[in-house]
């Protein structure tokens, strides 16, 4: 529970209405009850406020909502996220190394760490303060994990990999699996040892069942603040810049380099050894087959400007009709040519 003014101060907004109003939780517009605060990030939902029972609303400047206490701020969606975290995020109390966890004697584990039953922590592992390992997490030898990380159930971090502070691994994420490297040997393939590591910088989040391959040599690196959705594949020696968003089922082939603040839609892909600039957005199922310069919005395979791709896709349903018309025009042209020859 918190007062409205306290929440406004938290998000850098200002109060319109009773600053001492007590708020219990955040709720969506259609389910909010007295004591709740809701938010409107998109103006098209403003009409729903007429029947909303929330005690207060988070809203952008310049929007008039009478008879309802407000928190007015520039980014209501971000404010919603911060208030939700403040009011409803559970606080993890340290439980130490719980019975049923196997932790090597050489591991350096801060006393405030929680390690649940079923976890395995290898030799020479270092785990920083406030980190939580949920059941069945496996941490191989020589791994370094920073402060306030959360490794959810059945996630795996293989040997030598590095997780900085506040890294989150969702269930069954794999960090440091072997890169897909094989040398042709006649009709067979010889496995190339993958002796590099993976480095996840501060505030990186890896979605459920996503895989980050270790480098063949050197490192695969995901830079600060980047977020991976579920089922994302990042191959060996890839470098992903800061504050990127990689949406579900997207894939990044070996040794490609992604710039800062890039977004890749679902099932988007980047071929190996390519360089993608900063501030690039690639639509769902888009595929990069060549280097991409910064500051572009692209879609399709191969990638083209998004607006051009929209025009092209709008044409596709008309192709059968256009083909029929072209055949008619061709037939008519042949008839006209025949008539000209007769004359």
Active site residues: 236
- Are β-strands 70-72 and 245-246 bridged in parallel, bridged antiparallel, or unpaired? unpaired
Q: Which residues are within 8 A (CB) of 182 and not within 5 positions of it... i.e. 6 or more apart?
A: 189, 190, 191, 192
State yes or no: cis peptide before 238, omega within 30 of 0.
no
Bridge partner residues of 190 (DSSP): 183
Counting DSSP H helices and E strands in the chain, the numbers are 4, 40
| DSSP for 104-158, written as a single string | -TT-EE-TT-EE-TT-EE-TT-EE-TT-EE-TT-EE-TT-EE-TT-EE-TT-EE-
- Helix, strand, or coil here: 243? coil
* Residues 140 and 162: beta-carbon distance below 8 Å: no
């Amino acid at each position: 529970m918190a007062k409205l003014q306290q929440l406004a101060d938290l998000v850098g907004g200002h109060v319109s209405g009773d600053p001492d109003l007590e708020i219990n939780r955040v709720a969506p517009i259609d389910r909010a009850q007295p004591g709740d605060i809701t938010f409107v990030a998109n103006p098209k939902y403003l009409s729903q406020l007429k029947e909303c029972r929330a005690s207060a609303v988070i809203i952008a400047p310049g929007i008039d909502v009478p008879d309802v206490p407000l928190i007015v701020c520039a980014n209501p969606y971000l404010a919603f996220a911060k208030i939700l975290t403040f009011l409803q995020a559970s606080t993890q109390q340290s439980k130490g190394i719980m019975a049923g966890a196997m932790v090597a004697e050489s591991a350096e584990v801060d006393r405030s760490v929680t390690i649940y039953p079923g976890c395995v922590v290898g030799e020479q592992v270092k785990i920083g303060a406030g980190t939580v390992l949920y059941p069945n997490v496996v941490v191989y030898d020589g791994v370094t994990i920073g402060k306030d990380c959360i490794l959810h159930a059945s996630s795996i971090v293989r040997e030598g990999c590095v997780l900085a502070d506040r890294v989150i691994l969702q269930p069954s994420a794999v960090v440091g699996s072997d890169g897909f490297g094989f040398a042709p040997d006649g009709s067979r393939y010889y496995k190339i040892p993958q002796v590099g590591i993976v480095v996840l910088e501060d505030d990186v989040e890896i979605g459920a069942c996503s895989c980050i391959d270790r480098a063949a040599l050197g490192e695969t690196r995901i830079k600060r603040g980047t977020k991976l959705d579920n089922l994302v594949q990042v191959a060996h020696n890839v470098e992903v810049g800061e504050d990127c968003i990689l949406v579900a089922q997207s894939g990044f082939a070996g040794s490609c380099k992604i710039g800062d603040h890039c977004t890749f839609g679902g099932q988007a892909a980047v071929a190996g050894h390519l360089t993608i600039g900063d501030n690039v957005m690639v639509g769902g199922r888009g595929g990069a087959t060549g280097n991409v310069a910064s500051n572009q919005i692209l879609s399709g395979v191969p990638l083209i400007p998004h607006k051009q791709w929209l025009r092209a896709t709008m044409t596709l349903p008309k192709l059968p009709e256009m083909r029929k018309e072209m055949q008619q025009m061709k037939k008519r042209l042949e008839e006209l040519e025949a008539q000209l020859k007769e004359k």
